[in-house]
Each structure stands twice: as structure tokens, then as C-alpha cells.
Amino acid sequence: MPIALENVSYSYQSNDGVDIPALRDVSFEIGDGEFIGIMGHSGCGKTTLIQIMAGLLCPSSGRVMLDGKDINEKNYDRAELRRNVGLVFQFPENQLFESTVEKDLAFALKHSGLSRDEVKDRVKRALETMGFSFEKMRSLPPLSLSGGEKRRIAIASALVTKPRFLIFDEPVAGLDPQGTQSFLETVSLLNGQGTTVIMISHNADVLGECAKRILVFDRGSLVIDGAAENVFSDIERLKALNLNAGTPGVIGDLLSRRGIVIPKTITSYKGLLSALVSRLKGEALS
């Protein structure tokens, strides 16, 4: 069953009491197993949106539905929301606070009702999913880790609850190319195993590598909702919004203008390279 936003609006209040709209009448649905990319300029409402989806903010109007239930209803079981939706913030060090990695991950299961052995097994599996050795990492202070390791630990802390929906806010900010690639491979693997992924990023290249559907926001409104290949191929529309269409698409467009025709639906470097090699070999492209 999906997460659905129905006519959601949200306003902050300024110091002088004036309402400042952050989201305006936003409606969409996200089904199980999707990989969603969210784009838009700073201040367009993206972070407010995911905080509302995770139940950290209550909309000024409209509803957020999970499996047909309004998560902001008085009698809604918030534990159900925490089990199903995991949120990883932009700066993972803000989420790490315990004295050891094991304690940090186990904290998310504090009120789960699981036995000590079951909690340990969940923590072990989450760390191994993120490429860590449980025995090597369990006793380390999380704040002593590198930036990339903290990012992976923060994701592991979200994974221990086995969420169906995993939300990221600018997850590759500050990562080097190798760290970014490792992160994308891991998240794509999770998505392939059935986890729904929702990712905010200013980096169109990153979203083009893995997202299947793109939501574009402008001044609090959802202005584009479509398949990634369709969104990124409409370079002029993205330019009108002062957004980057992604390097692979831009390169493909430039090549096509010079007679080396590349399909507009290509969004990744791997796809661009494959199409270019085929084109240079004289093979037909779909």
C-alpha cells in the first residue's frame, strides 16, 4: 500500500506573525518498490515535504496517508509510522549520539518489544547490509568515524526497523566520487530488494543514475511528476526552472545536435557510454 499526500499545504510563521507558505496544495502517491527523486531549488519545500511524510511536521491542511490511514489522526499508532518510514537527514552526524555504534543502532528498537538477541541480530544485519563487520564496528564510537562511514551508519540505523519507505535528504553531499558510487550501489540494492526509496538531491546526475520517477518542486508547488527519462529529456523545461537536466542528457543532446544521435531517454553515464559506443559502431539505437 502507498504513501499518499492529499492537498497538503504547510506554512511557517515569521517572527512578526506572518504566515510563510512552504508547501502549496501538494498531492501525489508513492507505491511500494518505487525509487523517487525529488528536485528543486533551496527553499522550494523539499525538506519540509519529507519531514511531513515522516510525521515530524503536521501539515497546515491536507492529509498524509499510509496504507489508507491518516498519520496525523489523533488515534493513529505512531509506532506503525516509525516501523514503516525511515528518514536519513543530510548531516548524519546529527543522528549519531550514543557511545558505540551498536548502541546507536539499537536505540531505534528501544520500544520494539524485541528480545535482546533479536535486537542484536537486527543491528548485525543492518551493519552487514551497509558493508560493515559487526564485530569490528559494534564497539566503536560513531563520531570517530569518517564522513562516509557516518553516512552508512546513519542509513544502517534507519534499516534496523526494516522500513518499507526509506527517505534521504541530500545523501551524497560531502561524499567523494567513490563514496557517492558506493552509496548509490547500496541504495539501489535495497530498492531492488523491495525497499521504496525517496531521495532529495540537487545533483541531477545522481538522480539520473538511480531514480525511476522524478518530482520537481518550485516555490512550494509540485510542478513536474514523471518518469526520470521523460523529465530529464525535457531540457528546455528544466532550464526554465533554472534546474540542471543532468550531464549525460546534456552531452547526449549536444552530440545529437552534431549528428551523433543519442536517445533522449538516457539519464546515466553508463547508458550514455553504451549508446555512444553502439552509435559509433553503426548499430541501431532504440
Interval 120-135: pLDDT, tens: 999 998 998 888 999 9
Cβ contacts of residue 213 below 8 Å, gap of 6+?
34, 35, 36, 37, 225, 226, 227, 228
Residue 238 placed within a domain: no
Residue 246 placed within a domain: no
Residue 286 placed within a domain: no
Q: Give 153-196 pLDDT, tens digit per residue.
A: 888 888 888 889 999 998 887 777 877 888 888 889 889 989 99
Interaxial angle between packed helices 116-129 and 147-159, expressed in degrees from 0 to 180 and rounded to the nearest 10: 130
Residue 283 — very low, low, confident or very high, per pLDDT cuts 50/70/90? Answer: low
> Number of structural domains, the chain?
1
Residue 241 placed within a domain: no
Burial (CB count <10 Å: 0-12, 13-18, 19+), residue 173: middle
Mean pLDDT of the region 47-66: 95
Residue 279 placed within a domain: no
First to last CA, the chain: 34
| Residue-level pLDDT at 175 | 75
- Positive/negative CA dihedral, 20, 13, 38, 170: positive
Residue 107 placed within a domain: yes
Name the most confidently modeled range: 22-31, 81-90, 244-253: 22-31
Between 263 and 39, where is the model more confident? 39
Residue 104 placed within a domain: yes
User: Can you give the residue range of the structural domain that contains 154?
Assistant: 3-228
pLDDT at 256 over 90: no
Element (H, E) at 80: helix 78-84
**CATH code for the domain in which residue 44 is found:** 3.40.50.300
Q: Give 34-51 pLDDT, tens digit per residue.
A: 999 999 998 899 999 999
Q: Are 120 and 128 in contact, with CB atoms under 8 Å apart?
A: no
Residue 168 placed within a domain: yes
C-alpha distances out from residue 157 to 47, 106, 201, 246, Å: 20, 8, 21, 31
